[in-house]
Structure 1
Amino acid sequence: MGLVRPKVIYTTSTSSTSHTLNFGSVGYLNRIVLLVNSYAGVSGVSGGYTLHDMTAHTLGCRLYSKINYGSDSSVTVTTTDSTNRIFIWMWELDDAEVFYESGTGLTSSSASMSAFDLPDGCTAILGVSAYVQGNSDNSSTNWPSGFTAQQYAINDWADGSTAKRVWASAAVNEFVSDSLSFSQQLVTGLGSNFPNYAWVGGVWGPQKDEEPPSVPGNLRLSGMTPTSVTLTWDAASDNSGVAGYGVYKDGEKVADQSGRSRTFSGLTPGVPSTYEVDAYDYNGNRSEKSGSLTIAPINDTTPPQAPVVRVTGLGAGTISVAWDEPADDSAVTAYGVFLNGVRQGADQTGRTRTFTGLVPGNLYTIGVTAVDLLGNRSTQGTKTVKAQADVTAPTLPGNVRVLSTSQTAVTMAWDASEDDNVGVAGYGLWLGTRLVATVPSTVFTFVGLSPGITYPLSVDAVDELGNRSERVTVPATTLEDTSGAAPPYECVFYDWSTHEPIDSLPLQNLSFELTLGGGGELSAEIPLYDEAYNVGRVEAATRPERTIVVVYRGERPVWIGRVCDPQDYESETGILRITAEEVVVIYGRRFVSFTGARTATKADTEIDWLLDLVSAPADKRWLRTAGVEGTIAVDREYRAEDYAPVLDTVTDIAAAPGGFEFWCRPDWDQVNDRPQVELRRVSRDNPPNSGLVLEYPGNVRRFRRTTRRGLATVVHGKLSLPDGGVLLAKVVQDELHANGWPRMEDAYTYDGLTTQAALQAETQRAADASRGARQVFEFQLAISPDVRWWEWELGSEAQVVITDHMYPERPDGSAGLDRMMKIVSLSVEPSTDEGELVTVTTAELTTSVDE
């Protein structure tokens, strides 16, 4: 930024009221600066210039400027009286969008001007004018260094005195610091008749830029070998321009660079690393880091799945197709396209293709292969279609029938339709006039219905171009609710990466559990009523790396989990059993190093930090966070490299006393209209009160108490400080060691407890935890429509009131046991013969032992 060119000044020996300086073309958006010294007053300046400052003087100093938008090549100054005593300077500045400061004065002594808090690269322009009396060029008159003096002799003064000369001078000073300041005698040696000189100055420069660039988007894997990965990302934007990108590996910056890709070499096969990028501008502002990407390089020898080709447009002699990115162990980078078995040029990156010049009405087979990062090529996915317009709908679905009914669901099936050209893409399921879903299979379960109601259920067929058949409608009546407690449950499968619903599969014998710390499991059976909907297709729809299942109670999500491998299929029954783990388990098992001091953090800070570091951008779309008011802050510091092994093994050691545990609660994203998981932070030492009272006899139909390992949780042995480190002994109590010190399974040494006080506090906490078994109570609630289990918060306390033979009534008539216990899990069986069965598990430390 700075001075582009100074122009030779304008002078004239001819008196006039109009004075034009021609300066030629000026760069677009550059600033034009004018200094006008005129004996006569100035009545106007052409071209919309702004007068920044002036000095009222016999030979006035005026400072003007404007931004050039492409049409300026001259300027005309109009004076109030005809004069030849005028000077005009013109300068061209670039990157000078803003006028910051000016100064002016009439003085015979020092002139001063200052401008502070300027951005780097500002330019200052100063001008001076004076009368000088004498018969020569007045060599005794001194001008400041860098000023070029101009003069005009006046010899016709009426007083007959010695000739006077009109002087003017100007200079440019470029500054690179953040302030401008001068105070000096600009002119000395002036005559006694005209001792004063006038001066004017101004400062221009760029916008003050404190705005960081946008976050680089779409960080992705674009190349891989067994020992290297190549990452690529989309460009960031910035008001002053993006200068480059910072690349990070496992939290450490690797380099700043201008390009938008980076190859990391020398990696170990199968060992994951986490990568991030940020952007920075020319003023040093940096964006937030992108969402992290965790990658383990592998020797990928497995080709991608074959692409599924679909038709998107047809005409006489033209065919347009598209396909989705198929699954692969690494990533798909390109596609090969074939027409009737003939390869159509080189591989392409896009997922669409249009063929023209075909014979109208002829059949053509279009094939597509996928190539991954390591060059593995899939088999062809093919589609055979006629090169002609298609406006004909598929045939009607045949033999539409009801397979089963329950109080809240109806499962129906039908025979496949046929299409004359592009093929049947799917079937639309209608409840009255509302389209409920479109599925590729020939079986569907309507859920969330009310007991004892007859519904008009319909199905139609649609081809890939959107042509729909007529609907076929069958009436179906749900079973009566004899218990009064049948809640409306629905199960929907979602694609993990796109978050879009996929095939809706009927579920039977559903049960699920929520567990503090992010655990929990769902089990269910899928009845495969349709022979065409075989096990392979079900496995494709419930692949563990791509599918989650959401359980709704009416409109409310109450459980969200990631599907595990389907199992235990038997052809005679046609039943496939599936399990799914609660989605937050993924995050609970992917802790990474915490890289800063955990001093006085707020109650939900750890959860936010956890999500930022361990969640991919696609994963985080499913998540939101929430804290619990009143939980106390954390004051603990861990060393980064020691934090991960501790948390991988012991999740509830994530903080010192006053620390947190977390669990997930299903929620609904109102903005994006989709389910999500709310991560809740609960205090370990001061849990909230759920308001729940578990009373036996009363709302508890039966309970059991146990310290068996199957229900006991991990407790921790005493911490010590050997060789400057801290030894955390993980121990588990089971029934074989219930009466003695429990056996040690694993131990980790880390030196993250940086103060003796922190060590003592954690030692005390662990000692308290090791005094006795963690006693667990399971309460099976009486079946009732009033049980609103989804409103209870895991980690909160419930009041337990028991009177029975083990806890007999006290002499004062009060219950034998009456105390607060922590809720650690909730188990639900929605569809028993009686209704919804809910089991609440609580835990507490009870048995004291001598230290």
Structure 2
Amino acid sequence: MGLVRFITPYTTTSPATSHTYFYGSISPGNRIVLFVQSYAGVSSISGGFTEHEWASNTLGIRMLSKVSYGGDSSVTVYTTDSTDRIFIWGYELDDAEVYYGSASAKEGVSSAYWSESGLPDGCVALMGVSMYIAGTDNTSASWPSGFSNKGYTYRDWSDGGGSKRVWGATAVNEYVSGSISVSKQLINNQPIGTSYAWAGGVWGPNPDNTPPTDPTNLRLTGMTPTSVTVAWDASSDSGSGVSGYTTYLNGVAKGSTSSRTATFSGLTSGVSVTIQVDAYDGKGNRSAKAELVVTPINDTTPPIVPTVRVTALDAGKITVGWDTPYDESVVVGYGVYLNGTKQGADQTARSKAFAGLSAGALYTISVDAIDLLGNRSAKGTRTVRAQADRNPPTLPGSVSVVATSKTAITLAWNPSSDDNVGVAGYGLYLGSLRVAEIPSRVYTFTGLTPGVSYTVGVDAVDELGNRSNRVMQSATTLEDTSGDAPPYEYVLYDWDTHLPLDSLPLQNVSFEITLNGSGQLTADIPLYDSAYTVGRITAATRPERTMLLVYRGEQLVWGGRIVDPQDYDSGSGVLKITAEESVAIYGKRYVAFTGPRAGTVPHTEVTWLLEHAASPADLRWLTYDGVAGTGTVDREYRADDFVRILDTVSDVAAAPGGFDWYVKPGWDAVNDRPRFVLRRVSRIEPPDTGLTLEYPGNVRGFSRSTRRGLATRTWGQLRRPDGGVMLSSVTRNDLLSDGWPLIEETWQFDGLTSQAALDAETQRASDASAGAKQVFEFVLAISPDVRWWQWELGGMARVVITDHLYPAQPDGAPGLDRPMKIVSLKVQPDSNDGELVTVTTGEHTVAVD
């Protein structure tokens, strides 16, 4: 940092009006500083230099500088008269982006000082002095403190009045920090008869700690099945300027560029990638990263149809606009048509004005969209009359309150009509405040206070903003007797990247957590809410590519992948979505075993499945936890088509009695992101949750099913005199598809002599135990201290019931009091009665000797 080089001075013995000084190649970004001393007047200097000082005297001195960006190696000084009394010095400085100040003086000025303050570390000060001396010597002259001489040069001649010498000299101080202050009478011990002038300046680093602005509008501009090209808008920097941009693929830097476009090749078709770009300046400051998630595909699907709206009307004039329609790649242009005739080439703007039309005549205007790969959508069409429209729509009809809950009021109405552009939508009012504008004819006011009377209303508006009068109704929300309802948040994440896509205030949410991973979430998205657009919803709810995570305050309580179908009802304006627990994705990739694997235990089998049957994206979401196995694995951990291998039956019989599993929401503390734990729960020793379900008590109500709610498997075991074991089983799985876990019973037999006899006895035992296995559903009275997400599925809860079905015992004991297994939890965050939690329990495994 500082002085790079002092360049050999220029002088000449041949008088001329053009003097070229060759300073050679300058490193890009470095500063070149010139001192020009000339007896003759200087008319111009080439090369784009900035003149900082000029001390005019018998031999004037100029000080100039510029930052070089390559391409130049010399400067030419033009004088008004031919002269050989001219000197040019040059310096190359690095890390000298800023010019901090300068001063100059000439003969007769000696009382002032050159002073600069507030300088950062690493500045360089340069001085140049010219002298016209009657004598011939200047070797005894001295410089101010801190400056070192960089060389003298001179020219002698006789002007008829005696010998004369023209001196030029320069000095440098490379260690300026904070401030500099020197006398303007710079040279001490000057010879008698000296006529002099001097100039000095300070340059140094830019104390720039401010990063450039973030790159904006990062967008897809090209795509093949294995590559994508992106572009972005320029950043700006208030200090040293933007030097370039660095691009990243899935978090890995891919290089820097001074352009604003980049191509990423070698990608996998159908696999999403995360592209980022940041800007950096000359001081190394970096902006935040702009980010774009894209999926390279062979896009053969056209964009969705643009929705055309009228934005302005007058006699003989129509202006239309439209939103950007969704496309699998990106929309790059639009075709616009008037009465079926295309109006010029495709355009990128999302509006079009038509003038010179026949006043009052009807016109059909159409718009289609074309995407990056040339797919063109169908046309969105409007028919409109070319005349001014200042008439509002008619009043909404039959406005009525159709539903109320503790925190919501639902309003419905019949359609309005309009005399030209048509009804664009309806405004919804809570008191005098317009809270939403929707296209459909039903709306739910949410976030209200229980037990409060509200005035709600609706008006109609056309596309030009003409509004009808409002129709108002009064309604009262229901009282809340259930305690404080907990706050819920619903966040959509990209399955591959784990990046959040959107946070949506869903309605009518219901989700279930079950053993064996069959839990499901259903919810409504109110598209009539002005906060939603088709593009936003489509981007956030991509089937099989989006995870929906449910938070209760800061607690992650459910997670699953969005799946088809996504039903939409134009009458209600509601889009219904469905998500399945993440383990369902794991289940779809289940790899069936073809036989036992010697020396393994149950929990290692689960780990094997995760490693071999899950995609990389799944593995980022899923981890494993739970009860470890102690014996070798039995057939329970393999597919139903497992072929019995009798010579390993002893190992099979010695294995644990099976396990249940479910997915528990968790958190990856290392990467600070949500993650799901595949939990293994022992069937032999299920955990005690400590939960008591009591009716009457903390249970609001319960129901009992006597149907075969749980599939059963009856095991027959025969221990042989030689120490061996034979096994047989009968499974009744008529309702296994409902998602219930297997309830197992074990029977041991004596005196049998063959596998066939064991099979027959096992069948008889299964038939004898084919009665109902009771299933209970308990609806809990929720209070703020009920932390249902901490209960262990597959664990035991104590069930205590006293009612007409289970009357109290003579000694006053409850009619029913026994442990049951928790099979599932169903949660409705915002029902009319507040948060509802339904706990389903089933019979425990029964071992029979």
Q: TM-score range, shorter-chain basis?
A: 0.5 to 0.7
Aligned: 1:648 with 2:648: no
Q: How far did 1:32 drift?
A: 1.8
Matched residues in 2 for 1:298 and 1:278: separation? 26
| CA distance in 2: counterparts of 1:32 and 1:280, whole angstroms | 30
Structure 1 residue 91: Cα displacement: 9.4
Conserved 8 A contact 1:489-1:551 = no
TM-score by length of 1: 0.52
Counterpart position of 2:381 = 382
Describe the shift of the 1:402–1:562 C-alpha distance in structure 2 as closer, same or farther (beyond 3 A): farther
Amino acid in the other structure paired with 2:412: A
Residues 30 and 92, structure 1, Cα contact 8 Å, conserved in 2: no
CA distance in 1 between partners of 2:490 and 2:211 (Å): 41
Equivalent residue number for residue 445 of structure 2: 446
- The 3-state SS of whatever aligns with 2:217 is coil
Q: Residue 149 of structure 1 corresponds to which residue in structure 2?
A: 154
Counterpart-to-counterpart distance in 2, 1:194 and 1:366? 90
1:277 aligns to 2:277 (yes or no)? yes
1:260 is the counterpart of 2:260? yes
Q: Corresponding residue for 1:745?
A: none
> In the TM superposition, what whole-angstrom CA distance separates every residue of 1:565-592 from its partner, at most 9, and x where no partner exists?
4468999999996434799x99xxxxxx
**What is the alpha-carbon distance in structure 1 between the residues aligned to residue 665 and residue 535 of structure 2?**
39
Instruction: Give the AA of the match of 2:263.
Output: T
Partner of residue 634, structure 1: none
- Matches of 1:427 and 1:494, distance apart in 2: 29
Letter of the aligned partner of 1:278 in structure 2? Answer: D
Would the alpha carbon gap of residues 254 and 97 (structure 1) be closer, same or farther in structure 2, given more than 3 Å must change?
Answer: closer
Going from structure 1 to structure 2, the CA distance change for 1:308 and 1:138 (only over 3 Å counts) comes to closer
For 1:27-176, list aligned pairs within 5 A: 30-34=50-54, 97-99=98-100, 118=122, 124-127=126-129, 147-149=152-154, 168-171=167-170
Q: 2:38 aligns to what?
A: 9
Partner of 1:460: 459
> Is structure 2 residue 332 aligned with structure 1 residue 333?
yes
Q: Name the residue aligned to 2:395.
A: 396
The aligned counterpart of 1:783 is 781
Q: Distance in 2 between matches of 1:66 and 1:527?
A: 65
For 1:69-96, what per-residue CA distance to the aligned partner results, in whole angstroms no more than 9, with x for missing partners?
xxxxxxxxxxxxxxxxx99999999986
Alignment partners' CA distance in 2, 1:132 and 1:572: 104
SS of equivalent residue, structure 1 residue 445? strand
Cα distance in 1, alignment partners of residues 297 and 378 from structure 2: 21
In structure 2, the CA distance between the partners of 1:383 and 1:209, relative to structure 1 (3 Å rule), is same
Q: Aligned to 2:356, what secondary structure does the other structure show?
A: coil
Name the SS for the 2:312 alignment partner: strand
Name the stretch that deviates more: 250-259 or 138-147.
138-147
Please tell me the residue identity of whatever aligns with 2:247: V
Query: 2: CA distance between counterparts of 1:280 and 1:146?
Result: 40
* Cα shift at 1:320: 1.6
Residues 27 and 461 (structure 1 numbering): CA distance in 2 closer, same or farther, change over 3 Å?
farther
SS at match of 2:620: helix
Matched residue type, 2:781: I
Q: How does 1:425-574 map to 2 (within 5 A)?
A: 425-450=424-449, 454-479=453-478, 483=481, 485=483, 510-512=509-511, 522-524=521-523, 544=542, 564-566=563-565
C-alpha distance after superposition, 1:632-682 (max 9, x if no partner): xxxxxxxxxx996794364469xxxxxx98559xxxxxxxxxxxxx96899
Q: Indicate conservation of the 8 Å contact 1:542/1:565, yes or no.
A: no
- The gaps in structure 2 that reach 5 residues or longer are 1-29, 67-84, 106-118, 143-147, 178-188, 529-533, 586-613, 626-663, 679-688, 703-708, 712-740, 747-775, 801-821, 841-849
Aligned residue for 2:203, secondary structure, equals strand
Structure 2 letter corresponding to 1:9? S
Q: Which amino acid aligns with 1:127?
A: V
**CA distance change for structure 1 residues 167 and 560 in 2, over 3 Å: closer, same or farther?**
same
**Aligned 8 A contact 1:87 1:168 in 2:** no
Matching of residue 247 in structure 1 with residue 219 in structure 2: no
Partner Cα distance (1:539, 1:274) in 2:
20
Which residue number corresponds to residue 593 of structure 2? none
Q: Cα–Cα, structure 1 residues 694 and 573, in superposed 2: closer, same or farther, change >3 Å?
A: same
Q: Tell me which structure has the larger Cα radius of gyration.
A: 2
**Are the aligned partners of 1:544 and 1:562 in contact in 2 as well (CA < 8 Å)?**
no
Greater fraction strand = 2
Deviations 1:143-195, CA, capped at 9 Å, x for gaps: 98853326799999xxxxxx8967632248899999xxxxxxxxxxx999999
Contact kept, 8 Å, 1:406 with 1:479, in 2: the verdict is: yes
Q: Cα RMSD between the aligned structures?
A: 6.9
**Residue of structure 2 equivalent to 1:14:** none
Superposed displacement of residue 464, structure 1: 0.9
Letter in 1 for 2:122: L
Deviation at 1:804, TM superposition (A): 8.6
SS at match of 1:278: strand
Structure 1 residue 840 displacement after superposition: 9.2
**Could you tell me how far apart the structure 2 residues matched to 1:827 and 1:280 are?**
51
1:358 CA displacement: 1.6
The equivalent residue for 1:228 is 227
1:298 counterpart SS class: coil
Q: Distance in 2 between matches of 1:213 and 1:278?
A: 9
CA distance, structure 1, for counterparts of residue 466 and residue 353 of structure 2: 20
Q: Give 3-state SS (helix, strand or coil) of 2:277's partner.
A: strand
The correspondence of residues 762-777 of structure 1 with structure 2, limited to 5 A, is none
Task: Provide the secondary structure at the position in 2 that maps to 1:233.
Answer: strand
Instruction: Say if 1:471 and 1:680 are closer, same or farther in 2 by CA, change over 3 A.
Output: same
Identity %: 43
Secondary structure of residue in 2 paired with 1:399: strand
Q: Which amino acid aligns with 1:427?
A: Y
User: Kindly tell me: are residues 407 and 32 of structure 1, through their superposed partners in 2, closer, same or farther at Cα, counting changes over 3 Å?
Assistant: closer
**Offset of residue 801 of structure 1:** 13
What TM-score do the two structures reach when normalised by structure 2?
0.52
